[in-house]
Structure formats: C-alpha cells, structure tokens
Amino acid sequence: MSESLIANINNNHCCCCDKSNKNCYNDHHSCNCSESSKHCYEKAKEFNIITDESVLRKKCENITSENQKLAIECIDKLKHILSSLDHAVGLAAPQLGYNLKIFCMKYNNDILVVVNPVILKIIKPTKYLATSYEGCLSIPNKSYITIRHTKIQVRFQDENFKWQEKTFKNFDAYIFQHEYDHINGVLIKDHGEEIVFENENKIDTKEEKNLEQ
C-alpha cells in the first residue's frame, strides 16, 4: 500500500461505527463494529448467502419482460434479507444465486431497489477518490481497503421498473459501487487490499500494492 493511501484513511469513516477508519482499525479488537460484523456474518448463514466464486464471477443479465417475474421474486428476497441484517448495507442478486442485474441498498432509512443500473458519470470535485473500509457477506470475516469514487451520477429502474436518475456521494456512492461490482462479477478482493489485524495497535496487509489516487 502506498503512503498516500494510508494518509487518506483518516479522511473517511468505518461503515459500522462513528470512528474514523484509522482509529477503528487500531481499536479493532475492542470496537463494537468488530462484534457486530461477526454477528452479521453468522446471521447471513441463515439465508444461504453465496460464497462460491464460480457463481459470483458471472456477469449478470439485464431484466427484460421475459425474466421480469423472476426479477420480482429476487427483489422480494433481497429486501427481506437486507432488512433482516442490521449491519449489512447492500445485497446483490448473484449473492442469492440469481444471475440478474439487481441489487438493494440501504438509503435514506429505507431499502432502495436498483435494477439494470448504469453509472453515467463520475463527478469530480476536488477530492473525487477516497479510501473505503469494506466487508462483504460473500467473503465472510475479511475486510478490505478499497478505492472508490466519492460522487457518481447513475441511472436505473426501481422496483416498479420505472427509470430513475440519481446522484450518490460519499458512503452511498461507495455502497452503490460495491453492489454494482457484484452484478459485473467483480469482488472487493479484486481491487482492494485485505486488512490483517495482527494486534490491537497495528494494521498490516497480506501484500504490498502501489495504489495511486
């Protein structure tokens, strides 16, 4: 990991608690988000979340009139499971074994259904890339540092298959990009760096990568 990436960890927050990413990492063994994440992974097992990469690596299909009935079934399951997992913020169709371009994400105290999404534009303010500390229900008990765009303009169909356009920023943008990766057969381990907690006061990674911002 490059020094510039390490320096930017302080500018963002852990997805599970109110600490900055850096402080959360250093306090990981005593931080509530560690136990919350473990509980979330254990509860996810009840819903048979897919961890098989041969399934997760497939690019998903667009929703059309031909597979809309299957899409509705998938949406119902995604919403039910995501609402049952307090510390999960998103879930994609391939994680349930559906090869469909659908995901759900928690947004504005509700669950947003996203169908056939397209990222139209990366909006570039002064700081348009940031480090994000992420986990994935399909990669249990592992955490990664990833690079995400901080503001994106997107187009998608909602659960009634009506087209919408939205702009997401910061944490909402990170969630969208994470789930968008899923429907394209991409996992956080592909472009993220695994975090290894050796002790309470040290963060290490499995390998060094020169990630440029």
The tokens describing 91, both together, are: 């879930």
What percentage of the chain exceeds 70 in pLDDT? 72
Most confident of 3-17, 32-46, 89-103: 89-103
The tokens describing 8, both together, are: 């930017």
Strands 193-199 and 202-205: antiparallel
Residue 64 has pLDDT above 50, yes or no: yes
Strand partners, 194: 144
pLDDT at 184: 97
Write the CB contacts of 141 (distance below 8 Å, at least 6 apart in sequence): 37, 38, 41
3-state secondary structure 123-175: CCCCCCEEEEEEEECCEEEEEEEEEEECEEEEEEECCCCCEEEEEEEHHHHHH
Mean pLDDT value across residues 93-114: 97
Strand partners, 153: 121, 167
Domain boundaries, the chain: 3-205
Q: How confident is the model at residue 35 (pLDDT cuts 50, 70, 90)?
A: low
Asked which of 23-27, 59-63, 65-69 is least confident by mean pLDDT, the reply is 23-27
Give 158-194 pLDDT, tens digit per residue: 999 999 999 999 999 999 999 999 999 999 999 889 9
What CATH topology corresponds to 3-205? Peptide Deformylase (3.90.45)
Cβ(180)–Cβ(136) below 8 Å? no
Cα dihedral sign, 22-23-28-31: negative
- Positions marked active-site: 179
Query: 50: number of CA atoms within 13 Å, CB side?
Result: 20
- Distance between CA atoms of 212 and 129, rounded to whole angstroms? 10
pLDDT at 106: 97
Asked which of 40-44, 52-56, 181-185 is least confident by mean pLDDT, the reply is 40-44
Write the CB contacts of 170 (distance below 8 Å, at least 6 apart in sequence): 130, 150, 151
Cβ(138)–Cβ(88) below 8 Å? no
pLDDT at 191: 87
Residue 199 has pLDDT above 80, yes or no: no
Residue 32 has pLDDT above 80, yes or no: no
Residue 206 has pLDDT above 60, yes or no: no
Average pLDDT of the chain to the nearest whole number: 80
Residue 138 has pLDDT above 70, yes or no: yes
Mean pLDDT value across residues 80-95: 94
SS3 of 29, please? coil
Q: Between 61 and 206, whose confidence is greater?
A: 61
pLDDT at 119: 97
Largest CA distance in the chain: 54
Residue 42 has pLDDT above 90, yes or no: no
